[in-house]
Amino acid sequence: MPRANRKRRRSPAPEMHRNNRYKESPPDFSLLASLYPSFRQYLLFPSSSDRPTIDFTDFSATRELTRVLLLHDHGVNWWIPDGQLCPTVPNRSNYIHWIGDLLSSNLIPPISNSDSDSEKLVRGFDIGTGANCIYPLLGASLKGWSFVGSDVTEVALEWARKNVESNPHISNLIEIRDARKSRSLDSELASTTMPSDHVLVDVVKEGERFDFCMCNPPFFESLEDAGLNPKTACGGTSEEMVCPGGEQAFIHRMIEDSVSLKHSFRWFTSMVGRKVNLKVLISKIREVGATVVKTTEFVQGQTARWGLAWSFLPPRRNLISPNAPIKTDLSFMLQGLQRKTGAFQVLKSVETFFLSTGASCKSDLASFFVNITISGELAGEMFNDGTKADSETHGFSFRISVFEQTPGTLLLRGSLLRKDSSNAGAFQLLFSHLEEKLKMEFLHKSGG
């Protein structure tokens, strides 16, 4: 059916995550071929372009590209047997970076992690890690996170373990867990290859705590449904791509398990392949009483994919009660600073902090202030709990000024530039994160 006149989205097409190394510089195939002769054989030189490419419908070529990208850009040794699902590194990195955003937004405060509290190690659970084990490998190498990766097929478990063992520098961060073992408790399912009703319950051990779980579920109800994208050859066996009821049934099971394990995870997350499923799943999550639901759209070449996250823990922003007086001017002091720490240095840190969130900053160093703008899109990513459409999330601007009170004491003042109370809560939250960050940075250094 022709769709030329149909408006596809309300917001601009999603871009790669700002921290994705391939956002500004896509993989340089010429360079990779010069460094890795095994990749050279797959290069094609189309007459229409001066840049070489590869045949993305050739499984061996896409697998070799993934291998050299993981090795060259991430220092990861990797391989999968013929026919297994072959991940694209730039796309899979977006999901990792989005989880990084969820964790650093501090919307849901960290939960105490019984066995790694002292190390403050971020701990994730990858449901269905696959033979490629891509998320634990990327999460450990990019972020230093530790993982449990689960799966239910012999080949996935064997190759995921091989991929972990081939990387001794991060192997202590990744445990591969057989989710079928837990199923042996369930006698009816023990001898079948059908996915169990549980994906987390019985796989997560008593007393374990995780900062997040993630999942790239089997999207399709049948292999015919999966079809084959003629433009790519990512492989994928029926066990990897198909489950009864498709992704909706799989994520439903995750949601049900999340209710039983609501205190064991800070964030539950999953990738979703169809927008129509996203809406149904959000309703289900609300129905079971999650306190926060967040969504994002991922860049996945020609195909749209969504990220869905929820939590049952009380969000920090609830601390800003709707009945509390709305403050559009806020301040705090930095006292006991070292002599060499002046207003200029603190202002630069303010700028670095907000730039790292994706905000844009304009500094006036002579007057010791920086104006910060949070775009509507960024505000949506940071604060939208899934109840608002992207187009309803408005951007806002505020000014942070630094005043030297006495040597060693600075006053920081934040003011919303348009005194629009609808963004006051978000502004207060960001300002409190800034206070936390600057106190950590400057007062810890000076022993304060």
Ligand X SMILES: C[S@@+](CC[C@H](N)C(=O)[O-])C[C@H]1O[C@@H](n2cnc3c(N)ncnc32)[C@H](O)[C@@H]1O
Annotated binding-site members: 92, 128, 151, 216
How many angstroms separate the Cα of 94 from the Cα of each of 18, 69, 271, 434?
Answer: 9, 15, 11, 25
Cα–Cα distance, 113 to 194 (Å, whole number): 32
CB of 269 to ligand X, least distance (A): 13
Q: Which of 291, 117, 164, 262 has its CA nearest to residue 204?
A: 262
Instruction: Report the nearest approach of ligand X to the CB of residue 41 (Å).
Output: 25
Q: What are phi and psi of 180, to 5 degrees?
A: -75, -30
Q: How far apart are CA 378 and CA 143, in angstroms?
A: 22
| E strand map for 350-430 | 360-364, 369-374, 396-406, 409-416
- Report in angstroms how near the CB of residue 29 gets to ligand X at its nearest: 22
Residue 247 CB, nearest approach to ligand X (Å) = 9
CB of 389 to ligand X, least distance (A): 28
Q: Quick one: 245 or 336, whose CB is closer to ligand X?
A: 245
Could you give the 3-state DSSP secondary structure of residue 202?
coil
Main-chain phi, psi angles of 404, to 5 degrees: -85, 120
Instruction: Give the contacts of 322 (CB within 8 A, at least 6 positions apart).
Output: none
- Contact footprint for ligand X (CB under 6 A): 85, 87, 127-130, 132, 134-135, 150-153, 156, 179, 195-196, 199, 216, 218, 239-241, 243
Task: Output 68 or 359, the one with its CB closest to ligand X.
Answer: 68
Q: Which is nearer to ligand X, 257 or 351 (CB)?
A: 257
Which residue is it, tokens 């450990």?
A: 140
Judged by beta carbon, residue 103 or residue 254, the one nearer ligand X is: 254
* Strand ranges of the sheet holding 292-300, from the earlier edge strand across to the other edge: 174-178, 146-151, 123-127, 210-215, 265-272, 303-311, 292-300
**Measured from the CB atom, is 186 or 364 closer to ligand X?**
186
Q: Which alpha helices (DSSP H) does 358-423 contain, by range?
A: 376-383
Task: Report in angstroms how near the CB of residue 204 gets to ligand X at its nearest.
Answer: 12
Binding residues for S-adenosyl-L-methionine: 92, 128, 151, 216
Closer CB to ligand X, 189 or 417, in the complex: 189
Task: Give least dist CB 199 to ligand X, A.
Answer: 5
Q: How far apart are CA 235 and CA 154, in angstroms?
A: 17
Alpha helices in 41-177 (DSSP H): 59-74, 89-105, 134-138, 154-165
* Pick 102 or 152: Cβ nearer ligand X: 152
Q: Among all residues, whose Cβ is closest to ligand X?
A: 128
Say whether 331 sits in a helix, a strand or coil.
strand
